[in-house]
């Protein structure tokens, strides 16, 4: 009797946990974070078959002339869900796709978004070159990490409109204008941001991380400089590349800035002291308050070390 | 070894050997046996555990930037040559360090690319000709084909910049670690530029000569396994206040030099 009850509970728990697991993976949700601005929140996780590369935040902006899509997800499979999510909100045409930088979790769904109508692909002036250099390596590792079925058909068309560092490109969406800005080397050497002027919403790509530890793949010094400028943008909220769908601006910048500054100061100290590159990662304790710290923190220390050696 | 000029044909044949073997190497030991025969013929290699320490991470954080240090243990005989071999790399002999035992000690560090999980071997040749070997296994992959951190134009514009820095106070007649960092993309020839649909041609530092008051203290023969911006930490023994000259040659026949004064602390 008791045994039977237990088994029933176990079955029920299994059913619930399956339902929960299904709920986490299956529906591809979007939320409206400001009038006409919708965000899909990627998992704060590393690439894995169960997330299909859906680990970055994606956004779209609805204007009377059409829809501007910002980033495309890490695989064609995510790209298809992303297009369907746009279609679930509006039947205005998808006209523009902005790729905020070269990283695979943001770009490999691009072919799908373009196939859905995006004629204008906006990317940083260095994006094509960066992707030419890194694309084959990225594609091989994504296929391995996500599985060939999920990754099949993932493509990244070249930008049709490029934005140079310091350049501002205004796009007229009809009832609203967005300003796309190119940045010097920071998180990567291909960073763009999108500012929706009507709502004061900054779509920051990976220049802003929340929750997930920032990854330095461009220049630590450059990123710190860019943050100073970024903080002055006239926005009241930000959609970060990773973390929550939306956060207050510029307060959302504080944690990232603190991490990058601490990293800079600690690594500079070790370089000055003559502590070797091999010893450096263990000498700088992992920061608290971030997720996915290992091994990205150690990698950041290594990258920062090689960069800051030139400064001493 | 001591046969300059033999190195490049040797590397070429190793490359061919690698191509023939493909990625399915029968076993670590067979690869090492071939490299060892090519470098040392049938000279005996003694277990160097008591003589040499080889420091390398078990699992690298960045396969294109793996720190490796080789140093003689206390009580080791004076050493005149060190080889750093990354068995499974396309060009396995990452670097050869020739030391003047009066002016340099066997304690060197550099950063290498690791292409796939591999044994790393360090071999030391004592001044009396004996050879000692130690090995470690490093888990890392993709280091040789990883793109550079800068685009090509920028990387080539920086070629020849250098940082030369003693890491500790200079004392006459005492060993001092000195770091030499050379701006150079060190292209492997295994990196692709798909805008032009072509391999980026190999372009890498081949030789670094460190002179103390005109005498060669350390000569490094280096290769594509050395990371972008080749960095060497060497241990010099400056006899007193002395000029340290660094002369660099690369595979494109560029030559550049810089020098600093090593001034002992009062």
What integer pLDDT is reported at residue B26 of this predicted model? 35
**Quick one: how far is CA B171 from the chain centroid?**
26
Q: Which residues does chain B have within 8 Å of residue A277's beta carbon, measured at their own beta carbons?
A: 65, 67, 111
The size of chain B, in residues, is 266
A294, part of any domain: no
**CATH number of the structural domain spanning residue B69:** 2.60.40.2470
A136 to B194: CB separation less than 8 angstroms, yes or no: yes
Which segments of chain B are extended strands (E)?
45-47, 52-55, 66-72, 79-86, 93-99, 104-112, 118-126, 131-138, 162-166, 176-182, 192-193, 198-199, 205-212, 215-222, 231-236, 242-250, 255-262
Is residue A258 pLDDT above 60, yes or no? yes
Q: What is the mean pLDDT of residues B209-223?
A: 96
Q: Which residues does chain A have within 8 Å of residue B194's beta carbon, measured at their own beta carbons?
A: 132-133, 135-136
A278 to B109: CB separation less than 8 angstroms, yes or no: yes
ipTM of the complex: 0.81
Q: How many domains, chain B? A: 1
Of B69, B142, B231, the CB nearest to A137: B142
Q: What is the mean pLDDT of residues B193-198?
A: 63
Quick check: A134 contacting B, CB < 8 Å?
Answer: yes
> Per residue in A37-92, pLDDT tens?
999 999 999 999 999 999 999 999 999 999 999 999 999 999 999 999 999 999 99
CA torsion through residues B99, B101, B104, B106, sign? positive
What integer pLDDT is reported at residue B25 of this predicted model? 36
> Per residue in A139-166, pLDDT tens?
988 999 999 999 999 999 999 999 999 9
Of B146, B148, B181, the CB nearest to A309: B181
> Per residue in B120-135, pLDDT tens?
999 999 999 999 999 9
- The three-point CA angle B90-B100-B174 to 5° equals 115
Average pLDDT over chain A, rounded to whole?
91
What integer pLDDT is reported at residue B24 of this predicted model? 34
pLDDT band at B148 (very low <50, low <70, confident <90, very high): confident
**CATH number of the structural domain spanning residue A197:** 3.60.15.10
pLDDT band at B12 (very low <50, low <70, confident <90, very high): very low
What integer pLDDT is reported at residue B193 of this predicted model? 65
Of B69, B193, B233, the CB nearest to A132: B193
Q: How many domains, chain A? A: 1
Any alpha helices (H) in chain B, and if so which ranges?
Answer: 7-21, 28-40, 152-158
A281 to B61: CB separation less than 8 angstroms, yes or no: yes
> What Å distances lie between residue B249 and A60, A309, B112, B220, CA to CA?
52, 22, 18, 10
Q: Measure A58 CA to nearest chain B CA, in Å.
A: 26
Q: Which residues does chain A have within 8 Å of residue B55's beta carbon, measured at their own beta carbons?
A: 278
Q: Measure B70 CA to nearest chain A CA, in Å.
A: 12
A1, part of any domain: no
Quick check: B247 contacting A, CB < 8 Å?
Answer: no
A310 to B181: CB separation less than 8 angstroms, yes or no: yes
Partner B, chain A 28-67, Cβ-Cβ below 8 Å: none
A201, part of any domain: yes
Long-range contacts for A286-289 (Cβ within 8 Å, ≥24 apart)?
A287/A213, A287/A259, A287/A262, A289/A255
Domain containing residue A124: 27-252
Q: Measure B164 CA to nearest chain A CA, in Å.
A: 10
What integer pLDDT is reported at residue A72 of this predicted model? 98
CA torsion through residues B244, B251, B92, B47, sign? negative
Q: What is the mean pLDDT of residues A243-256?
A: 97
What integer pLDDT is reported at residue A184 of this predicted model? 95
Q: Which residue of B has its CA nearest to A311?
A: B163
When scoring B67, B116, B139, B150 by the number of chain A Cβ atoms within 10 A, the one with the most, hence best to mutate, is B67
What integer pLDDT is reported at residue A295 of this predicted model? 86
Any alpha helices (H) in B77-151, and if so which ranges?
Answer: none
What integer pLDDT is reported at residue A187 of this predicted model? 97
Q: Which residue of B has its CA nearest to A134?
A: B147
Q: What is the mean pLDDT of residues A255-266?
A: 98
Quick check: A133 contacting B, CB < 8 Å?
Answer: yes
Higher pLDDT, A70 or A5: A70
A312 to B229: CB separation less than 8 angstroms, yes or no: no
Quick check: A184 contacting B, CB < 8 Å?
Answer: no
Q: What is the mean pLDDT of residues B218-237?
A: 96
Average pLDDT over chain B, rounded to whole?
87
Rounded-to-integer distance, Cα A106 and Cα A91, Å: 23
Is residue A132 pLDDT above 70, yes or no? yes
When scoring A268, A281, A306 by the number of chain B Cβ atoms within 10 A, the one with the most, hence best to mutate, is A306
What integer pLDDT is reported at residue B10 of this predicted model? 40
Q: Measure B177 CA to nearest chain A CA, in Å.
A: 9
Higher pLDDT, A135 or A228: A228
A284 in Cβ contact with A265 (< 8 Å): no
A290, part of any domain: no
pLDDT band at B85 (very low <50, low <70, confident <90, very high): very high
> Per residue in B20-76, pLDDT tens?
443 333 334 689 999 999 999 999 999 999 999 999 999 999 999 999 999 999 999
Q: Measure A1 CA to nearest chain B CA, in Å.
A: 53
B147 to A137: CB separation less than 8 angstroms, yes or no: yes
B61 to A136: CB separation less than 8 angstroms, yes or no: no
Rounded-to-integer distance, Cα A263 and Cα B10, Å: 43
Higher pLDDT, A135 or A39: A39
pLDDT band at B96 (very low <50, low <70, confident <90, very high): very high
Domain containing residue B36: 7-262
Quick check: A306 contacting B, CB < 8 Å?
Answer: yes
CA torsion through residues A77, A78, A80, A81, sign? positive
The residues facing A161 across adjacent strands are: A122
Rounded-to-integer distance, Cα A72 and Cα A109, Å: 5
A299 to B193: CB separation less than 8 angstroms, yes or no: no
Q: Measure A112 CA to nearest chain B CA, in Å.
A: 22
What integer pLDDT is reported at residue B29 of this predicted model? 61
Q: What is the mean pLDDT of residues B3-24?
A: 40
B247, part of any domain: yes
The residues facing A182 across adjacent strands are: A165, A192
What integer pLDDT is reported at residue B196 of this predicted model? 66
What integer pLDDT is reported at residue B199 of this predicted model? 77
Quick check: B216 contacting A, CB < 8 Å?
Answer: no
Is residue B194 pLDDT above 70, yes or no? no
For residue B183, give both structure tokens.
């701006």
When scoring B61, B63, B146, B235 by the number of chain A Cβ atoms within 10 A, the one with the most, hence best to mutate, is B61
Question: For the ranges A125-129, A277-281, B24-28, B101-105, which has the lowest average pLDDT?
Answer: B24-28
Kindly report the number of other CB atoms within 10 A of residue A273's CB atom.
10
Tokens 């800051």 map to which residue?
A: A308
What integer pLDDT is reported at residue B191 of this predicted model? 74
Q: Which residues does chain B have within 8 Å of residue A281's beta carbon, measured at their own beta carbons?
A: 61
What integer pLDDT is reported at residue A26 of this predicted model? 56
Query: What backbone torsions phi and psi does residue A273 show, to the nearest 5 degrees?
Result: -70, -15
Rounded-to-integer distance, Cα A93 and Cα A11, Å: 46
> Per residue in A77-118, pLDDT tens?
999 999 999 999 999 999 999 999 999 999 999 999 999 999
């Amino acid at each position: 009797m008791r045994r039977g009850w237990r088994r029933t509970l176990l079955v029920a728990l299994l059913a619930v946990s399956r339902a929960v697991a299904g709920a986490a993976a299956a529906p591809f949700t979007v939320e409206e974070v400001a009038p006409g601005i919708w965000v899909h929140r990627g998992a704060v996780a590393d690439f894995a078959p169960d997330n299909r590369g859906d680990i970055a935040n994606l956004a779209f902006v609805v204007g009377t002339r059409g829809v501007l899509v910002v980033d495309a997800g890490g695989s064609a499979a995510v790209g298809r869900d992303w297009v369907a999510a746009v279609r679930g909100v509006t039947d205005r045409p998808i006209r523009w796709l902005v790729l905020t930088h070269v990283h695979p979790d943001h770009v490999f769904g691009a072919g799908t978004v373009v196939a859905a109508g995006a004629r204008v692909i906006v990317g940083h002036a260095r994006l094509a070159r960066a992707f030419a250099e890194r694309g084959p390596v990225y594609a091989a590792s994504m296929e391995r990490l996500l599985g060939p079925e999920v990754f099949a058909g993932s493509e990244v068309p070249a930008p049709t409109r490029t934005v140079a560092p310091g350049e501002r490109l205004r796009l007229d969406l009809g009832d609203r204008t967005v300003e796309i800005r190119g940045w010097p080397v920071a998180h990567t050497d291909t960073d763009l941001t999108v500012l929706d002027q009507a709502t004061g919403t900054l779509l920051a790509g990976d220049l802003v991380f929340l929750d997930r530890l920032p990854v330095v793949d461009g220049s630590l010094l450059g990123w710190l400089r860019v943050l100073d400028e970024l903080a002055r943008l006239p926005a009241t909220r930000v959609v970060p590349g990773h973390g929550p769908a939306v956060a207050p601006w510029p307060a959302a910048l504080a944690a990232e800035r603190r991490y990058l500054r601490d990293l800079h100061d600690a690594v500079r100290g070790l370089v000055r002291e003559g502590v070797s590159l091999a010893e450096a990662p263990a000498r700088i304790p992992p920061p608290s308050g971030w997720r996915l710290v290992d091994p990205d923190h150690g990698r950041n220390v290594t990258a920062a070390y090689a960069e800051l050696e030139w400064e001493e | 070894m001591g046969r300059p000029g033999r190195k490049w044909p040797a590397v070429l044949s190793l490359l061919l050997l690698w191509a023939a073997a493909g990625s399915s190497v029968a076993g670590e030991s067979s690869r090492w046996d071939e490299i060892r025969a090519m470098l040392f013929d049938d000279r005996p290699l003694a277990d160097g555990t008591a003589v040499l320490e080889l420091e390398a991470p078990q699992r690298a954080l960045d396969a294109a930037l793996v720190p490796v240090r080789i140093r003689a243990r206390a009580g080791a005989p004076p050493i005149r040559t060190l080889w750093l071999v990354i068995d499974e790399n396309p060009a396995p002999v990452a670097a050869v360090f020739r030391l003047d035992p009066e002016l340099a000690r066997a304690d060197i560090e550099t950063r290498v690319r690791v292409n796939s999980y591999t044994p790393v071997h360090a071999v030391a040749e004592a001044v009396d000709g004996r050879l000692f070997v130690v090995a470690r296994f490093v888990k890392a992959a993709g280091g040789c084909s990883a793109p550079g951190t800068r685009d090509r134009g920028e990387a080539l514009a920086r070629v020849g910049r250098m940082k030369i820095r003693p890491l500790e106070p200079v004392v006459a007649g005492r060993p001092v670690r000195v770091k030499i960092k050379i701006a150079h993309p060190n292209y492997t020839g295994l990196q692709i530029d798909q805008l032009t649909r072509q391999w980026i041609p190999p372009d890498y530092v081949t030789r670094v000569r460190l002179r103390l008051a005109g005498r060669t203290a350390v000569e490094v023969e280096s290769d594509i396994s050395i990371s972008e911006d080749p960095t060497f930490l060497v241990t010099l023994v400056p006899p007193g206040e002395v000029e340290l000259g660094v002369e660099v040659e690369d595979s494109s026949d560029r030559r550049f030099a810089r020098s600093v004064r090593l001034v002992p602390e009062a």
